Structure 1
């Protein structure tokens, strides 16, 4: 895997994805990156700590080694490269970009669903099946949100698109037609 200091977070994540794919460890790399995210939730400023010159280098080295010792060798190598190139402070953004690439390549769609009332399990299942067909997805992950401002229906945000099937939206469209 070839990295350089001039790569942006997307390029870094893509290089790691491609390298993992070549080695047949993409799913392991994804699991490791999700573990890194969990560590970052516990220690939000970890990237900053690992580049802070006030902390002695050997202590920073030891901290990184302890954090990644259970990851596969490819992930360890990638994180060490980020650390060596002083790019580790951007680790949160690299993880986010890696997840986006992984989801795209595996046709996993993450959708934000807003409704007036909580969806039942059956409604969620039907919505997932419809979205799989419409978006040619293998897997759909729903993040549901209840918002009393949605009079009824559903608003879905997925793959940079908004599908607004809310009653409020339909009423606004009807109002515009009547005004013409």
Structure 2
């Protein structure tokens, strides 16, 4: 995320957090933000539509209402509709990511990005979560997982700027460096 994008996204993320705190719905709003981010990541069409400056604002609002459904809390729906009105919906991803980051800070939670060769089981996720919690001393750990078959086996865990490479590919690379191959 560029500095300019970050500077524009920050006040919106802070505003969403303030609203969620005032309505005592930080956890619920954070979950909806998470689900919405996952949907944007999975659906390139949705992301392209929301970021398209030519697309009609009413159409964007209709899609947001349809995607969120009737059960979604009013604060998140109104917030996303406000982003459309202010021509800032193209920043929805950086805004919601920054919001998630602020929620983690508030709750003393760290984000661990885990890349594995295969999809992790629930048991493996829990093992990684506990290990990261011991390393960081955080109250809680959020995992963001992805799969990269090129790792051959094992995992790479990134916590902020710290990277723990326990992948087979990483081990092979270290051995080749030691052997001077």
User: Which of the five TM-score ranges fits, normalised by the shorter chain?
Assistant: 0.5 to 0.7
Q: Which residue of 1 aligns with 2:3?
A: none
Matched, 1:128 2:113: no
Q: How many residue pairs end up in the alignment?
A: 166
Distance, in Å, in 2 between the alignment partners of 1:144 and 1:7 is 28
The offset of 1:35, in angstroms, is 3.4
* Match in the other structure for 1:22: 22
Distance 1:8 1:92 in 2: 12
RMSD, aligned CA: 3.7
How far residue 136 of structure 1 moved from its aligned partner, in angstroms, is 1.6
Larger Rg, first or second structure (1 or 2): 1
Using the size of structure 1 for normalisation, the TM-score is 0.66
How many angstroms apart in 2 are the aligned matches of 1:60 and 1:113? 33
CA deviation vs aligned residue, 1:142-163 (integer Å, no higher than 9, x gap) = 636566667x876432222113
- Other-structure match for 1:48: 51
Change beyond 3 A, Cα 1:73–1:122: closer
What SS does the aligned partner of 1:95 have?
helix
Distance 1:167 1:76 in 2: 47
| TM-score of the two chains, using structure 2 as the length reference | 0.66
Q: For 1:91 and 1:134, locate their aligned partners in 2 and report how far apart those are by CA, in whole Å.
A: 32
Give the helix-richer structure, 1 or 2.
2
> Where does the alignment leave 5 or more consecutive residues of structure 2 unmatched?
1-5
* Partner Cα distance (1:65, 1:155) in 2: 37
CA distance in 2, matches of 1:66, 1:132: 37
In structure 2, the residue matched to 1:97 is 98
Counting only pairs closer than 5 Å after superposition, residues 1-180 of structure 1 correspond to structure 2 as 8-40=8-40, 41-42=42-43, 43-49=46-52, 51-52=53-54, 55=56, 58-68=58-68, 70=70, 71-106=72-107, 107-113=109-115, 125-137=126-138, 138-141=140-143, 143=145, 145=147, 155-164=156-165, 167-168=171-172, 171=175
Unmatched 5+ stretches in structure 1: 1-5
Superposed displacement of residue 133, structure 1: 1.2
